[in-house]
Amino acid sequence: MCLRIKVNRDLILTRFNKLDQLMENLRELKEIGKEDFLSNYKNYFTAQRALEISINICIDIGNHIVTLNNKEKPETFTDIIEILAKHEIISNELKTHFIKMVRFRNLLGQFYLEIDNKIIYNILQNNLKDFDSFKEAILRKFKNNLLGNSNKENST
């Protein structure tokens, strides 16, 4: 179902570089024991913000792909993820994981007083691989565009 899709190489690679930095920081936090993590606000505030930015990066990349190629007009961030899966840019399994991440991001931004930092710790322990999977899916789909030449817009 996926047609020729253009992407801006620099935009995507710049965001993936930032995502890599954030993942490095989150993996450091992942190594902290649960008690220590939860007892130090610097740990969970850092993790909250890094997760929020990481999710935003993935949404931004998805939105770039969808809007640049005049796919359906997403009304919500979860729509972006749905459209990526519909056009076989990401798998349905990854779609399910990222829709949960997008909803969690909304909680971080809007219901920050209700965040249970045990959930943040659980995400660190179990869900960082979802970001790697998202990056791998985009790189695999647009490998020639992103790893090859340096044209601003490329197509597959």
Q: Is a pLDDT exceeding 50 seen at residue 88?
A: yes
- Domains in the chain and their CATH numbers? 6-147 (1.20.120.580)
What count of Cα atoms within 13 Å lies in the side-chain half-sphere of residue 135?
18
**What value, to the nearest 5°, has the Cα angle with vertex 16 and ends 76 and 26?**
90
**Do residues 112 and 131 lie in contact, with contact meaning Cβ atoms separated by under 8 Å?**
no
Query: pLDDT tens digit string along 95-147?
Result: 999 999 999 898 887 666 678 899 999 999 999 999 999 999 999 988 877 77
Q: How far apart are alpha carbons 101 and 53 in whole angstroms? A: 11
Query: Whole-prediction pTM value?
Result: 0.86
Query: pLDDT tens digit string along 17-45?
Result: 999 999 999 999 999 999 999 999 999 99
